Structure 1
Amino acid sequence: MTDAHETAADRSLRTTGGAPPDETGSVAGEAPIPLLEPREGIPPVIADAAALAEVTAAFAAGTGPVAVDAERASGYRYGQRAYLVQLRREGAGSALIDPVACPDLSGLGEALADVEWVLHAATQDLPCLREIGMVPTRIFDTELAGRLAGFPRVGLGAMVESVLGFVLEKGHSAVDWSTRPLPEPWLRYAALDVELLVDLRDALEKELDRQDKLEWAREEFDAIASAPPAEPRKDPWRRTSGMHKVRRRRQLAVVRELWLTRDRVARRRDVSPGKVIGDAAIVEAALALPADAHAMAALHGFGRVNRRQLEQWQAAVDRAKALPEAQLPAPGQAVAGPPPPRAWADKDPVAAARLAAARAAVSELAERLNMPQENLITPDTVRRVCWEPPQRVDTESVAEALTRHGARPWQVRQVTPVLTAALTADTAPGA
């Protein structure tokens, strides 16, 4: 496998001719090669301070970008913490680090602070990496690069296959990474995730440059790297699946109390909230408003719960029932910005016409640039500008509005002309 590894980037250019793959995402010319083993074998898991110091020194002395990935235990454990961190850099090889045994990786993060980090779907991994002290200043996101370049499938496996011509092992992405010790097949899978990440980065950089999109990508990467940590979501209980069935304020209060109780239990047990009780059970209890634990036990999702736990859930329902009217949650969550687009036609038909014209113009431009509309400009930005357009609609004022709503300079340059034209068109209803 050594020769295949060493020629991965060259092979990608040879098999694709420097162009992205076809609509199916397949590489023309050669059958993909299964990638079964890391080139230096599976590295040992770093689980103590001495081994971590050695790895930190080795990666600090390496050259070029560093490939970084993290595995979480979504669906098994509470929260989104990292349970394995994988890295690879030229001159240092690959490393697998156990962040449970080594919870502070700030020294490693500082050693790589000035290095470009290559991640796939960076926004998914950066929060859990930040928690353990790993904060990059420069990144290259291979998933986002694939979107900007117009690739139809941008999962890591699909990208490695279509761009480099190798097939990554599948099947362990959704396992419980909090398991200790981690089985060898899982470790092999984890090491292979960073095996060709820098090769993929190099090939995508060439493709973006060929399409004159490299500077656009760099602006996007800089925006991700410099973004502050996300603020905690307000009223997260409102995202309970099936909430659309819950109409009455008293029932909403039951959802809230059950959700908060479940969250406390899940945090204490360190398990996914869904493993405590499901969203469907919460919604059913809110609709039924059970009078006692016996009635609660008859509801779907609560039948196998023991008596003590049933009393805990019934107590949450009873607390919601006892709330005075003034403390009941409002039916809808207050949302900053324009109303949902489905309400525009009734609230402001002219704005609805503007939005329709703007959406059509952005869609056409995205198709011409061969990228998803949401990567060209966020739908929320388009809605905000259409709902409250500048007093004087010209290219300068539209560009200022886009910038104010967070659009990057490349997005402003591309979108301003078509959005200005859409906003100044005769969009009066019936015109």
Structure 2
Amino acid sequence: MASNCAPKRKGNLPPSRNLPRSSAYFALPSAAASRFLVVTLNEQPIPAYTLIDQPAQLAPLLAALDRVDEVALDTEADNMFHYRTRVCLLQFLVAGEIFLVDVLAPLPLAPLWEKLATKHLLMHGSDFDLRLLSDLCQFRPKSIFDTMLAAQLLNRQRIGLAALLEQHFGLILDKEGQKANWSNRPITKKLLDYAALDVWHLPALRDILTRELAQLDRLDWLDQQCGRQIESGMIGFPRDDENDWRIGRSERLRGRGLGVLHSVWHWREECARTLDVPPFKVCSADLLLDIAYAAEDGDSIEGILGKVNLGKRHARLVQSLATALREGFGRDPNTLPRRRRSETAPLSPQEIALQDRIKADRDRIAATLGLEGTLIANRSQLALIARDPAKVDDILLPWQADLLRSQPSMQPA
């Protein structure tokens, strides 16, 4: 694995508007690795774990990785608190030992990524984690077992890790960890306890879900889903696009409102970048649209500003917002970046009718199997199949295509 896997500020990640995720460095703990003994939380034992924040402390983790083929992995990031996201903590369960790695500490992590890339990973909701790690250092796992994907194939109504742990182990996780700022240092013991529990139960949960999937003969389905998850994760997060400012209800804007929306959207981005906060913490997208529609409807700059409340930062930001409004009022909407036209023609009436028939067959199969229909084929996939049914194997995974291929709607007319 390339040496660029060493900890660094992830400037190549998209702003937090795309991930609901950083740039400021915090003081890092200098103490030796912390070993916490078992305590209880909601009457559940907290497993012992080792916190690694110094280079010399990596050796036991690397040695442990050499002895196993499978590792449970989770990540924590700071997307709710900073403009650009950083991976802040890695949680590993290796042969019954939990290691918590402080990614913001000055650690040489290239050897860790090299070893990890040869392991089978147990994860939950891996899409976000894989995209984070791909953007961080082009990490690609050998294979994964994603307990969230497994739960979906078992038609679990609640597929979050907290819900599954409560269902199978009676564990009620403290929700504070889901909202925490993981870039703060030192990390509190309460958050470290939370992080440890995120991986501790994954092997047992995997075993339970595996047995149920085997009974339904769906283990191969899961293997295919996990393989696609890896490929999707390697794409990383969407990069900035010149039309990112076209949000929500903006498609109905035609005149001055378009120029105003373009201007105030970029104003919000610049404020967020300067303040190092996610854009939604400057103001909501709805407020940007309200401003744009007010301009479209003929309201003045003064009238718009008189109805805007930017909260605790109002006094600090309102003057720059006024400047953005003036720029937007003066912008010719014809000079704005244009939407890219789709290279694909709309579905014909015949194709729409076929899409409806395929959807009906999909829904019937899904009901029989006790699955959510979109797990077999989502709306965009249905449209692609209706356009060219012969390409069903290119559009869907093999298990999905096999379910649809023999249906009446897929037979030649």
TM superposition score category, shorter chain reference: 0.7 to 0.9
The alpha-carbon deviation at position 335 of structure 1 amounts to 4.2
Aligned to 1:320: 328
Report 1:80-91 matches (<5 A). 80-90=85-95
Q: Which residue, 201, 206, 210 being the options, matches 2:211? A: 206
Distance 1:148 1:250 in 2: 48
Residue number in structure 1 paired with 2:132: 128
Q: Is the 8 A contact 1:148 1:217 kept in 2?
A: yes
Structure 1 residue 66 and structure 2 residue 71: aligned? yes
Give the match's secondary structure for 1:237.
coil
Describe how 1:90-109 pairs up with structure 2 within 5 A: 90=95, 93-102=97-106, 105-109=109-113
Partner of 2:246: 238
Match in the other structure for 1:357: 357
**Equivalents in 2 of 1:117, 1:253: separation in Å?**
48
1:7-406 matches, within 5 Å, as 36-40=44-48, 43-58=49-64, 60-90=65-95, 93-102=97-106, 105-133=109-137, 134-162=139-167, 164-172=168-176, 173-227=178-232, 228-230=234-236, 231-232=238-239, 234=241, 235-239=243-247, 241=248, 243=250, 246-289=252-295, 291-292=300-301, 294-302=302-310, 305-306=313-314, 309-328=317-336, 334-335=341-342, 337=344, 339=346, 348-386=348-386, 388-389=387-388, 398=389, 400-405=390-395
CA distance in 1, matches of 2:105, 2:320: 34
Query: SS in structure 2 opposite 1:85?
Result: strand
Name the stretch that deviates more: 367-376 or 185-194: 367-376
How many residues align structurally?
A: 365
Relative to structure 1, the CA distance from residue 221 to residue 303 in structure 2 (aligned partners, 3 Å threshold; closer, same or farther) is closer
Write out per-residue CA displacement over residues 43-81 of structure 1, whole angstroms, 9 at most, x where no aligned residue: 3432222223432333x2342421111122333222343
Alpha carbons of structure 1 residues 106 and 131: separation in structure 2 relative to 1, 3 Å:
farther
Deviation at 1:222, TM superposition (A): 1.4
Amino acid at match of 2:78: A
Q: Contact 1:280–1:301 at 8 Å: present in 2 too? A: no
Where structure 1 has 5 or more consecutive residues not aligned to the other structure, the ranges are 1-32, 390-397, 427-431
Q: Is the 8 A contact 1:81 1:131 kept in 2?
A: no
Deviation at 1:195, TM superposition (A): 0.6
- Rounded to whole Å, the distance in 2 between the matches of 1:360 and 1:198 is 38
Q: 1:296 to 1:274 in 2, by over 3 A?
A: same
Q: CA deviation at 1:376?
A: 1.4
Q: Deviations over 1:397-431 (max 9, x none)?
A: x3x412333x112222122222xx225598xxxxx
Structure 2: state its 5+ residue gaps.
1-40
Contact 2:144/2:226 (<8 A) preserved: yes
Counterpart secondary structure, 2:184: coil
* TM-superposed deviation, 1:232: 2.2
Alignment match of 1:414 (pick from 403, 407, 410): 403
Deviations 1:376-403 (A, max 9, x none): 12221111222x23xxxxxxxx3x4123
TM-score, length basis structure 2: 0.79
Q: CA deviation at 1:97?
A: 1.5
Which secondary structure state, in structure 2, belongs to the residue aligned with residue 75 of structure 1? coil
Q: Aligned partners of 2:385 and 2:87: how far apart in 1? A: 38
RMSD: 2.7
| TM-score normalised over the length of structure 1 | 0.76
Letter in 1 for 2:393: T
Query: Alignment identity in percent?
Result: 25
